[in-house]
Amino acid sequence: MTNSPEESGIRPLRWFMHVDMDAFFASIEQLDNPELRGKPLIVGQGRRGVVSTCSYEARRFGVHSAMPVGEAKRLCPHGVFVPGRHERYREVSRVVEGVLHDFSPLVEMASIDEAYLDATGLERLFGPVEEMGMALKRAVRGATGGLTCSVGIAPVKFLAKICSDLDKPDGLYLLRHEDMPRFLERLELSRIPGVGKKFLAALAALGIRSVPDVLARPEPFWERRFGKAGMALLRRAQGVDGREVVPYTPPKSESAETTFERDTRDRDFLKTWLLRHAERVGARMRRHGFAGRTVTLKIKYAGFRTVTRQMRLAARTSSTESLYEAGCALLDALSLEEPVRLIGLGISGFDDEKPIQLSLMDAMPGGESAAETERRRASLDGALDELRRRYGGAAVRRGRLFARDEAERARTESGVPDVPVRDRED
């Protein structure tokens, strides 16, 4: 009788886990406020906002993530709508990540609420892989005070992600190696990563509606018809996925953006939001020890046309003031053909050390050099960061933001609020 790979000692079977927190943002809100439990809770507010996530009670009415808030209110008029608390969500995400590292040295956080683990060869520590999955679920629930997650376990990465969605919420789905052919045969093409609506339509036009249909076409057909996308689909239909769990990938950029309740051409208002974004982006950069060189301004007009403009600085920076100045310079160069619906600010080029001859950073106030200005601003940013770390994010604000906040508060009290409907950070 032939021994299995595990029994023969050649090498253990590969196992990947995908851990997906159940309705993460909404579940945290219900955890922190027990009065919200059992209610159709929707994280997202504003006339133009979108749903970040919602509880399973709200999903029964057809509400789902990325849906406009207005449509969610129509489907679920008695729903409870709350604003997002992203710092709190990140805090809990870090707790979950810590739990996952107790089970595997190879953990890849795919997003704030989902992660991959390499569970290969860990049977000696945790028993059969399904028992490891159940132990992990219990550990997450205990560490977070009651939050649940769904776990998918499979021989390859993309199938683990698909499996985590098959037994939600609080489920576990194990796909064994010997069951892969039958599982793939029945798998809907829309569940395969990279197969969106347009790709599905193109496939349907060719009579390709299932995995067996994909496998019936030879490799040259897929390469000729769809190029890399076609070859990727063929490999997934064959159950092939060579990707490994990557414990940490440094971010290539940082950004923040805001969609407004009302469109505006008020440049002072827009610059105030650029300063807010520069504060948020700069603080995250400094917290992680990053510095970037290419500043990007993003504008979405009332008619939904989006424009981006970039500026390359003389040197890498994480300074709030430097980011703000660059964003303002880019905004000043725009004619604002229509009222603005959204404004965003980002920075990239973290590893860009190439010299530059001329930029915004070359001419600084007071006759000081760019390097001296950056050192002064770094000192100020460091002091503000430390005060916020000790006493909270609202402990200290720049004067320009304080004045604007006071003005907004006065308008709110008079019944004319001037507030954003949605903030987003990347």
Per-residue pLDDT tens, the chain, 426 aa: give them.
444 444 445 567 899 999 999 999 999 999 999 999 999 999 988 777 889 999 999 999 999 998 999 999 999 999 999 998 988 999 999 999 999 999 999 999 999 999 999 999 999 899 999 999 999 999 999 999 999 999 999 999 999 999 999 999 999 999 999 999 999 999 999 999 989 999 999 999 999 999 999 999 999 999 999 999 999 999 999 999 999 999 977 778 899 998 888 899 999 999 999 999 999 999 888 888 888 999 999 999 998 899 999 999 888 888 999 999 999 999 999 999 899 999 999 999 888 666 554 444 444 445 556 667 777 777 777 777 777 676 665 555 665 554 555 444 444 333 334 445 555 555
**CA–CA dist 295, 317 (Å, integer):** 10
- Can you say how many angstroms the Cα of residue 189 is from the centroid of all Cα atoms in its chain? 24
Task: From residue 186, give the alpha-carbon distance in Å to each of 159, 189, 237.
Answer: 13, 9, 11
**CA–CA dist 352, 294 (Å, integer):** 9
Among positive and negative, which fits the CA dihedral 70, 72, 74, 80? negative
Residue recorded with tokens 């739990």: 99
Residue 164 near residue 18, CB atoms below 8 Å: yes
Task: Determine whether 87 is exposed, middle or buried from the number of CB atoms within 10 Å of its CB (0-12, 13-18, 19+).
Answer: exposed
Give the contacts of 35 (CB within 8 A, at least 6 positions apart).
none
**CA–CA dist 102, 105 (Å, integer):** 8
pLDDT reported for residue 411:
42
Residue 321 near residue 296, CB atoms below 8 Å: no
Q: 154: which 2 tokens?
A: 């499979």
pLDDT reported for residue 10:
58
Residue 222 near residue 231, CB atoms below 8 Å: yes
Give the contacts of 332 (CB within 8 A, at least 6 positions apart).
267
Residue recorded with tokens 């040259």: 220
pLDDT reported for residue 6:
47
Find the catalytic residue in 29, 57, 114, 279: 114
Give the contacts of 420 (CB within 8 A, at least 6 positions apart).
46, 258, 259, 260, 261, 273
185 is catalytic: no
Between CA 11 and CA 14, with CA 12 as vertex, the angle to 5 degrees is 120
**CA–CA dist 286, 281 (Å, integer):** 9
- Report all structural domains of the chain as residue ranges with CATH numbers, in order of start: 13-175 (3.30.70.270), 181-237 (1.10.150.20), 253-425 (3.30.1490.100)
**CA–CA dist 395, 405 (Å, integer):** 14
pLDDT reported for residue 333:
94
Choose among 55, 31, 57: nearest CA to 43.
Answer: 55
Q: 293: which 2 tokens?
A: 């060189």
